Amino acid sequence: MRLHFVTRKGPSLRGSICLAYPWLEPYLRDETSDTIAEGARVVQKTSQTLLKDMRDVNPEGDSKSILGLLLRSNANAAPEDRLTDEELLAQIDSFLFAGSDSTGIATVWALYELACNPEIQQALRAELRPLGLNEHAGEQDFASDSGIDIDMATPDHAAQFAAIDALPLLDRVVRESLRLHPPAHSTLRIADEDDIVPFSPDSPPKMQDGSISRAVVTGLGADGVERTGIRVRKGDFIHLPFEPMNTIRDVWSEDGHKFK
């Protein structure tokens, strides 16, 4: 119940403060932060169990699961390139979250846009039909994978997925759906060195009154090349807002918010 409340509550003032001043986090604990910390401990323990179990039951490293492939790839890497157990656990956390919700959200929005644009849906269906994917799905299809075997280990299946990947309309539909409905609306990065980030000469960063941002400077970037752009200092938080970036009128025109 508490976790459900946290997910409905959304961003908090505490979270915003701790984002700007991480060192304050241990001193600003509340019920929400304790619930999140408790959930993080459960995820961490689950990840450790998954990692240990995979090593115990599959010592030869021949599993075709995502975790098995990750362990095998890591074992085959050069010693200096191998991930530590802590880094492997971080990858498992990504699988637990990004491997389900983001894929599900992206799929639902793509289906929604196709339902709202039946002419595109019909054209896409016509493009897919020659591949013969799951031709009898509407008759008798009781397979747990909906009739499509995704075992990439065989050459036939690899060729099939290569053919899907080469479909131009499917590619455009997926890209357009992700443009309008990114599963993650934004992300954060932290600059690891001083730099000057260039921008398009046709779209300089402007303030609300139309004036050029005072953050625009001319100087040497991290690579030693002089350029005009936004100065970024080491340690700065960089917020990347995918949704507004993907619909901004200066780039996508007045109807940039529409599926087209």
- Where the chain has pLDDT below 50, the residues are 1-9, 136-153
Q: In this predicted structure, what is the pLDDT of residue 122?
A: 96
Let me know if residue 213 belongs to a domain. Answer: yes
SS3 of 236-256: the string is CEEEEEHHHHCCCHHHHCCCC
Q: Is 145 helix (H, G, I), strand (E, B) or coil?
A: coil
Tens digits of per-residue pLDDT, 174-207?
Answer: 999 999 999 888 888 889 999 998 887 777 777 7
Let me know if residue 220 belongs to a domain. Answer: yes
Let me know if residue 159 belongs to a domain. Answer: no
Q: In this predicted structure, what is the pLDDT of residue 186?
A: 85
Tens digits of per-residue pLDDT, 113-129?
Answer: 999 999 999 999 999 98
What's the number of domains the chain is made of? Answer: 1
C-alpha to C-alpha distance for 2 and 54, rounded to whole angstroms: 32
Q: In this predicted structure, what is the pLDDT of residue 92?
A: 74
Let me know if residue 216 belongs to a domain. Answer: yes
Q: In this predicted structure, what is the pLDDT of residue 175?
A: 95
Let me know if residue 28 belongs to a domain. Answer: no
Q: In this predicted structure, what is the pLDDT of residue 116?
A: 96
Let me know if residue 227 belongs to a domain. Answer: yes
Q: In this predicted structure, what is the pLDDT of residue 113?
A: 96
C-alpha to C-alpha distance for 227 and 182, rounded to whole angstroms: 31
Element (H, E) at 216: strand 216-220
C-alpha to C-alpha distance for 114 and 108, rounded to whole angstroms: 10
Q: In this predicted structure, what is the pLDDT of residue 123?
A: 96
C-alpha to C-alpha distance for 253 and 131, rounded to whole angstroms: 35
Q: What domain range includes position 204?
A: 188-245
